[in-house]
Chain A
Amino acid sequence: MSISRRDFLKRSVLTGGALSVLSTTQLKGFTKHPIGWKGNQRVSEIASICEMCFWRCGILGNVDKYGKILKIDGNPEHPLTHGRLCARGNAGHKLTYDPDRLKYPLMRVGKRGEGKFKRVSWDEALDFFAEKLLKIKKEYGPEAVGYFPHGIQARFFHQVMTAFGTPNSVEPAFAQCRGPRDVGYKLTFGNNIGSPEPLDFEHTDLMVFIGSHIGENVFTGQVLQYAEALERGAKLIVVDPRFSDAAAKADYWLPIKPGTDTSLLLAWMHVLIFEGHYDKEYIDNNAIGFDQLKEHVKDFTPKWAAKITELPESLIIKTARLMGKCSPKVALHPGRHVTWYGDDSQRSRAMALVTALLGSYGRKGGIYLSSKIPAPKFPSSHHKPKVKRADGAGTKYPFASKGLGVTNGLIDATLNEDPYPIKGWVVYSQNVLESIPETYKTKEAIDKLDLMVVVDVMPVEQILYADLVLPEATFLERYDDLYTVKNAKIPFAAIRQPIIDPLFETKPGWWIAKEMAKRLDLKDLFPWDTMEEYFDHRLSGLNTTLKQMQAKGIAMHSKGTPYYDFSKPVKFKTESGKIELYSKKLLREGFSPMPEYTPIDEVPTGYFRLIYGRSPVHTFARSQNNEILNSYQSENDLWLNNKVAEDLGLLDGEYVKLENQDGVISNKIKVNATPGIRADAVYMVHGFGHNSKRMRKAHGKGVSDTQLMTRVKVDPISGGTGMRVNFVRIVKNGNPIMLSGAFSFLPNFEGEGEEELKYVEDPKRVKAKRKIKKVKKKEVKVEKKELKRKVIELKEVETEEEEDEGC
């Protein structure tokens, strides 16, 4: 082949032209940098807060001379994370530069779910939105619009929807996550736990996790304090059917039978009370219902719980004693995602009661208190809608939060048009098809809608069902509302500010909300023009301005009040003003005033209970398409007990499929045959198995646990969806495989067995006995001498033990 000079010139001009076109688009964000240290290329460093997950750690965005983000660092000024940042935060800029991200407003042209869209301008999109929404308002009333928000950034949308007139705002943060926990603790102590969990790991002597797998479930600030506590010598008890990273670090791992945690907690209470380990003074002064509780747990012996939990009795007793010994410096983690079995509010109550018995609430080393932070909101002339909520919060689910709502309640309402029709959904920063179980129901409900609007960053599956997709700028390209952290020993406020300008046609959430308000005749809703004006108002309580705060990104409040001052009588925010071990409030609504163990549905033969959790390199279903994070974990694997795997003839690393109890068959998933899980359960990391082909890296990789959750058990107290009630069997080459009849699983707990409880006499009973003893004085004298000797002996033994175990 020969190339003439003319041809060559022509081609080089063409390539040159093409290259220059490419490079101008590249300048917008997809440029390639010389290899080498980023520090040499950095021209500015901008403080902000992360949104790779919901913990919002402090970050510094490093920007180069082309205006491209080079790297994200931790912000050393952040009072909880001290400049440290997890894998996701470190890979945060890859969200901004994800080639698959939503770039332009899209309007659906194909069928729902088909994924056919046309690109429209923002004006067209917003006009369409307003027109449709006002039409729904006219036909069905404003309450026919449901709103699915998430996060601090949602506050502007929240204002729009509230002013529009709908009370139906629902977040999975409640009914699929921490709802039951907040209800349980509020009923007991009068306060929510809130976020981040105010655990005083800094001073604790013992950490107790029930299902919490810190380390795999990462909040940088919490992991940091947890690791430092371990180094300091704090003890750790982990209750988890799976040998998590925390379990590996624990002094005691309790591989409990899934779903039986409440019985363990009741038995712990039994030991704490009847062996006299509880904090008597704290309970006497601050709690009501102790006698009822004592009576209630009388029969819930460790022996009883051992049978239910399939744990050795001695392990239950030992761990309870350790808690008693470390009281009050025990940090029992209240958990976060706690919607497991439908009895979750009561289990959370049981955890709160153990915390109370140990005297750990509001005390050093236990759970500290949240402090107030003044951050005034802009006054609004709009009132809260007076229409009844459709999701059942406050009615069907009497203790559900009206602020966060019950997602599944609203989906049911949409589906059944009960109590009234819901015709529009506005979904913001939330993933209704990955975070809410029973996805088939959600899809059916979407079919009933006249309008579904999704404001999102990534083209996750839900956008395929939307009529209108509005592309939001990523967290590195926008301002969001002020983030105030009350659950810190010294409360503080942090700002999110743009590190670069939004790429493509994406827009920040606040701008979208403001434009929506304009078109919905709610112009006066945002009485500010710039974000500077907005922030300066919000920051006025902290005596600072946006300008002053921009360099560090953080404004500390003057002082916090993390602990109760017990020198004065303490008033709890409960009905009685005391810690309510016995809850009249629950009784009034027809629930048990004290937690009870409700037996769970047993695993059907041939099936395994599906449990799920977190990975340190991914957040829910948000991050699987991130170039870097995907390279660390592109798919989830299936934890299966190694003996089970052996019996089933499965090899470690082999691919299988799963079929749930309702016949739903999953994608393929890799077997992780491990002795680190019980034989009756399988485990996977949540968030994989994306169905959207627009997410090219994540599509079809791994299994979505949510899609296998075709059943839930709703907690009648909070409305939370118990999600660990689904069972799967393993399908290989198209056929389900079963365990052989010969398979048995009898774990041998080394060094554990039965243990005698050392019951402490009830003071009242002791008095009665004394009267009798007076009659038999002579015998008593002999007995006393012997007793003294025994006590001395016992004390010696006990002190030896103490040295062994420490605290």
Chain B
Amino acid sequence: MRYAMVIDLRKCVGCDACTVACRTEWEVPIGHSRTVVSHSGAIGEFPNVYSTNFVAQCNHCDEPTCVPPCPTGATFQEKNGIVQVDTDLCIGCGYCVEACPYDARYINPETNKVDKCDFCAERLDVGLQPACATTCIANAKYFGDLEDRNSIVYKKVFEEGAWRNENENAAIGPNVYYLGTKNQLEIVKAKFGPRKARLATPAQMWKDILRPFIFGAIGVTFVGQAIAFFNQLRNGEEPIDD
């Protein structure tokens, strides 16, 4: 089982039905989003122009960069590929927000916990499709199990050659695939590709300075203890006064 989504940009009209449905389904606060529709605008010189719409959301990557930085284990990946956030464990540190090269996560100001697309896991549990795919007025979003040869996403990915939005910044196996014309995918590559995964400043400090320092200090202490021990062995134990 590996859930995946395929978005056909040739059909997408960029109308934001999906993002509004997501917002109301999950009460995403205004100013934040689990999924975003972008419009490239016309590119080129009149009248030889082209453009695309682009839909972004959590990609539920094969090797999610958001999972390792989580200090409490709140962000984890399920066996079906869905990257989940356990809100009981989340402390809202935002390390994962910085670590996601697709900017798919945000801190909900009302709960102070991280939130993001989870392919509408609760809807899936009751046999529904994700809210965005259900409402898409152009039927441009396909959802299903990539390991099921009869699923629509299998067909779109392995037969029609849907494309993964990866580049030199991040190639971590996103499971949201795209279909588009050559021009459209060129624009996506140029404008909507992933950034480099960042570690949040505290995390960076922990990783680059604090952690080496602490490990170093522990090492030095250990070495010092060892030296003292061997010294003692060599010199013999001092008599203890009662």
How far is B140's CA from A226's CA once the two chains are assembled, in angstroms?
A: 12
Partner of B51, one of A36, A220, A616, A676: A676
A750 close to B (CB within 8 Å): yes
How far is B53's CA from A36's CA once the two chains are assembled, in angstroms?
A: 29
A83 close to B (CB within 8 Å): yes
| A84 contacts B123, C-beta separation under 8 Å | no
Q: B139: shortest Cβ distance to chain A, in Å?
A: 6
| B44 contacts A223, C-beta separation under 8 Å | no
| A628 contacts B25, C-beta separation under 8 Å | no
Contacts of B48 in A (CB 8 A): 748-750
Q: Which secondary structure dominates chain B's binding surface? A: loop
| A227 contacts B24, C-beta separation under 8 Å | no
Q: B4: shortest Cβ distance to chain A, in Å?
A: 19
| A223 contacts B137, C-beta separation under 8 Å | yes
A675-B49 contact, Cβ under 8 Å, with A71-B24, A83-B134, A84-B136: yes
Contacts of B122 in A (CB 8 A): 37, 39-40
B17 close to A (CB within 8 Å): yes
Binding site for A on B (CB under 8 A): 8, 10-11, 13-17, 19-21, 23-27, 30-31, 41-53, 108, 110-111, 120, 122-123, 126, 128, 134-140
| A243 contacts B51, C-beta separation under 8 Å | yes
Which of B13, B26, B52 has the most chain A CB within a 10 Å cutoff? B13
| A616 contacts B13, C-beta separation under 8 Å | yes
Stretch at the interface among A85-93, A341-349, A522-530, A713-721: A85-93
How far is B14's CA from A214's CA once the two chains are assembled, in angstroms?
A: 11
Q: Can you report 7 residue pairs joining A to B where beta carbons are below 8 Å apart?
A: A85-B21, A85-B135, A215-B14, A218-B137, A223-B13, A228-B11, A631-B31
How far is B20's CA from A627's CA once the two chains are assembled, in angstroms?
A: 11
Contacts of A226 in B (CB 8 A): 138
Binding site for B on A (CB under 8 A): 33, 35-40, 70-74, 81, 83-87, 89-91, 93, 214-216, 218, 220, 223-224, 226-228, 230-231, 243, 245, 248-249, 253, 255, 616-617, 627-629, 631-632, 641-643, 672, 674-679, 747-750
| A90 contacts B49, C-beta separation under 8 Å | no
Partner of A223, one of B26, B45, B108, B138: B138
Contacts of A220 in B (CB 8 A): 17, 137
| B134 contacts A84, C-beta separation under 8 Å | yes
A627-B30 contact, Cβ under 8 Å, with A37-B123, A85-B135: yes
| A245 contacts B13, C-beta separation under 8 Å | yes
How far is B49's CA from A750's CA once the two chains are assembled, in angstroms?
A: 11
| A86 contacts B30, C-beta separation under 8 Å | no
Q: A193: shortest Cβ distance to chain B, in Å?
A: 22
How far is B44's CA from A721's CA once the two chains are assembled, in angstroms?
A: 36
Task: Sort A-B residue pairs by CB-CB distance and give the 9 closest, nearest first.
Answer: A676-B42, A215-B13, A616-B15, A227-B138, A90-B20, A227-B11, A87-B20, A87-B16, A675-B46
A224-B139 contact, Cβ under 8 Å, with A87-B19, A90-B20: yes
Contacts of B138 in A (CB 8 A): 215, 223-224, 226-227
Q: B28: shortest Cβ distance to chain A, in Å?
A: 9
Partner of A72, one of B24, B26, B137: B24
Partner of B25, one of A71, A616, A641: A71
Contacts of A679 in B (CB 8 A): 46
Q: B119: shortest Cβ distance to chain A, in Å?
A: 12
| A228 contacts B139, C-beta separation under 8 Å | yes
| B134 contacts A243, C-beta separation under 8 Å | no
Q: A246: shortest Cβ distance to chain B, in Å?
A: 8
Partner of B42, one of A223, A227, A674: A674
A84-B20 contact, Cβ under 8 Å, with A641-B46, A675-B43: no
B29 to chain A: closest residue by CB: A35
How far is B126's CA from A152's CA once the two chains are assembled, in angstroms?
A: 37
How far is B139's CA from A747's CA once the two chains are assembled, in angstroms?
A: 36
A311 to chain B: closest residue by CB: B47
| A86 contacts B47, C-beta separation under 8 Å | no
B115 to chain A: closest residue by CB: A35
Q: B160: shortest Cβ distance to chain A, in Å?
A: 11
Partner of B46, one of A91, A628, A747: A747
B123 to chain A: closest residue by CB: A39
Contacts of A70 in B (CB 8 A): 24
Contacts of B51 in A (CB 8 A): 243, 248, 676
Which of A33, A73, A220, A227 has the most chain B CB within a 10 Å cutoff? A227
Partner of A37, one of B26, B41, B108: B26
| B17 contacts A84, C-beta separation under 8 Å | yes
A84-B31 contact, Cβ under 8 Å, with A35-B111, A36-B26, A675-B43: no
Contacts of A243 in B (CB 8 A): 42, 47, 49, 51
| B111 contacts A674, C-beta separation under 8 Å | no
| B14 contacts A90, C-beta separation under 8 Å | no
A227-B21 contact, Cβ under 8 Å, with A674-B41, A675-B42: no
Contacts of A632 in B (CB 8 A): 16, 19-20
